[in-house]
Structure 1
Amino acid sequence: MSMLVSASFLLIVLVNVIGLMLARFMRRAPEIGIRRALGASRAAIYRQFLIEGATMGFVGGLVGVALTLLGLWGVGRLFEPKIARLVHADASLIALTVLLAVAATVVSALYPTWRAAQTQPAWQIKINH
């Protein structure tokens, strides 16, 4: 049951991430249009925004790990040592957490990145002129 709740929470968070990235990337449409007009390929736009998404996921994963370690420290201070030893985090769990955060964010960034790469350069230059 706990796994189902956490997977549902992850899905809700990822849908919100897609919306936020879409808004962020589309707000940068004039910049993308100018870059495309100057010769940037769609692949370069894809690469840039996917790297930005991976960076956001990495930072989010690190913040999540820091909060988890803070929670583990709190459990150690709150409960007696015999019980507190039951809850721990090892290096492989921390690495898996950060890797999952990066992978989930990159997957979530695919649609906003695709939309950003479809920006028509001529239309953006005409609007901003």
Structure 2
Amino acid sequence: MTKAIVPAAYGQQPMPTRHDARFQEIVTFGAHTAERWMASPGPLSLPEYLEALQYNLPGSTRQPVLDGFLMRIEQHFRAVPLPAPASSLPVEIDDTATPPAAALPDGPAPESMATSAEGVCHG
């Protein structure tokens, strides 16, 4: 089955979506809407804009439009050069800083879960 794509932009390759090719115009509309949003920021934040956009779309077109919109923004982000690796930056020691996510445990320790569950109504 052929899929709808977000057309190439910002030097990035076209991006296939999960939507059938019959949604191509709708996906492209989402991509163009993202370009307009990025070119002329208005009073709405990105979440507010997406909520308003969804509100005004028929149900079957919402997800293809949102995917086209977000994938176009992804193309834009991927086109922006990344800063130099952190190892080349000056090192400052901050004992109050939050550790990187990789250093955090997968979840709370069992004893902290029991402590936080005290006083919770189970009924």
If the length of structure 2 is used for normalisation, what is the TM-score? Answer: 0.32
Structure with the largest fraction of strand: 2
If the length of structure 1 is used for normalisation, what is the TM-score? Answer: 0.31
